[in-house]
Amino acid sequence: MKNILLIIGAVAFITAGCRNTKSDEIIIFHAGSLSVPFKELATEYEKLNPGIKVLLEPAGSLICARKITELKKPCDIIASADYFVINELLIPDYTKWSIRFATNEIVIAFQEKSKYASEINASNWIDILMKDDVTFSRSDPDSDPCGYRTILSFKLAEKHYNRPELADRLASKNRDFIRPKEVDLVALIEANAVDYMFQYKSVAIQHNLRYIELPREINLGDPAMNNLYKTVSQDVTGSTPGSKITVTGEYINYSLSVLDNAPHYKDAVNFVSFLLSDRGMDILRKNGQQPIQPSNSEQPDAIPESLKKYLK
């Protein structure tokens, strides 16, 4: 009997230990373009909170949302490259709020070995990319906001340069080099598989790539251009198989939220507080991403009390 009790006690201790380990995790699904700053944020947070492990799972933002809505995977925090993803696909069934915390812009990134690297500029980029011997890559608009933003930039370029059918010509070229998320494109550039990629400015900076900045009428990075951006749209895959949603052009906003059923809700809110703090915003800024500071939200009343101090 004594041995049985010892075995039961040992099993209970092991089970409790496993449960404690799991309770000391924070699970974050995040946009691929946040991989570099979020890794640094996680390292800093773990130093400040010994015993807590931050688990990072990057993917295209639309894929991150579908992991929650379709696959029902456990998740504490979702950080999306587009606030639209959380607002459209997760509110109100999975969370009641989101906070916009950073912005970005679309650029054309490349390296020294890229064809015509010494010639390409903000004026001739279309003619360079459309050359038969030049290849470029972009991410999948049905998986990744950078993908549908690239298509929106094509449509804005068609208007800006008054070049009919330009958007379709750009979208139909080099389709073999479309990838699920924007950071997948970096490997194509580094392997010399393509010459150029449509990419977020922050990712180009993080990977020490050359890039040209597009006119503000095209790059989706200037809030003053929002009325122009809103004149273009793109249909993308929705939250359920076979469904479609329409994304309207808007200046780039990254947003995040803690899910209502987050397994580690309190710790997740604490991590978000760290991210929105001056230290967290400095990490984003250092990695080429412009913070939105103070942050803003369309659901301010639903925001946890400890996070409201970071809002406008």
pLDDT tens by residue, 112-148: 999 999 999 999 999 999 999 999 999 999 999 999 9
Q: Residue 122: which residues within 8 A CB-CB, separation 6 or more?
A: 212, 213, 214, 215
Q: How confident is the model at residue 243 (pLDDT cuts 50, 70, 90)?
A: confident
Residue 45 has pLDDT above 80, yes or no: yes
Residue 290: both structure tokens together? 């412009």
Whether 275 and 43 have beta carbons less than 8 Å apart is answered as no
Taking the C-alpha atoms of residue 122 and residue 20, their distance in angstroms, rounded to an integer, is 54
pLDDT of residue 182: 87
The CATH classification number of 106-236 equals 3.40.190.10
Question: Directed axis angle between helix 35-48 and helix 265-276, to 10°?
Answer: 110
Q: How confident is the model at residue 241 (pLDDT cuts 50, 70, 90)?
A: confident
Distance in Å from the first CA to the final CA of the chain = 64
Q: How confident is the model at residue 226 (pLDDT cuts 50, 70, 90)?
A: very high
Q: Which of 83, 48, 97, 145 is nearest to 262 (CA)?
A: 97
In the chain, % of residues over pLDDT 70: 92
Residue 288 has pLDDT above 80, yes or no: yes
Phi-psi region of 78 (alpha: psi -120 to 50; beta: other; left: phi over 0): beta
The CATH classification number of 2-104+253-310 equals 3.40.190.10
Residue 66: both structure tokens together? 């579908």
pLDDT of residue 22: 57
Whether 77 and 256 have beta carbons less than 8 Å apart is answered as yes
Neighbour tally for 311: CB within 10 Å: 14
Q: What is the mean pLDDT of residues 262-283?
A: 98
Q: How confident is the model at residue 12 (pLDDT cuts 50, 70, 90)?
A: very low
**How long is the chain?**
312
Residue 192 has pLDDT above 50, yes or no: yes
Q: What share of the chain is helix, strand, coil (3-state, %, to 5)?
A: 45, 20, 35
pLDDT of residue 220: 98
Residue 258: both structure tokens together? 């803690």
Taking the C-alpha atoms of residue 266 and residue 109, their distance in angstroms, rounded to an integer, is 39
Three-state DSSP at 181 gives coil
- Mean confidence (pLDDT) of the chain: 92
Q: What is the mean pLDDT of residues 154-176?
A: 98
Residue 282 has pLDDT above 90, yes or no: yes
pLDDT of residue 238: 80
Residue 7 has pLDDT above 60, yes or no: no
Residue 264: both structure tokens together? 């580690």
Q: How confident is the model at residue 101 (pLDDT cuts 50, 70, 90)?
A: very high
Q: What is the mean pLDDT of residues 51-79?
A: 96
| Same fold? 2-104+253-310, 106-236 | yes
Question: Directed axis angle between helix 278-286 and helix 35-48, to 10°?
Answer: 150
Taking the C-alpha atoms of residue 180 and residue 147, their distance in angstroms, rounded to an integer, is 8
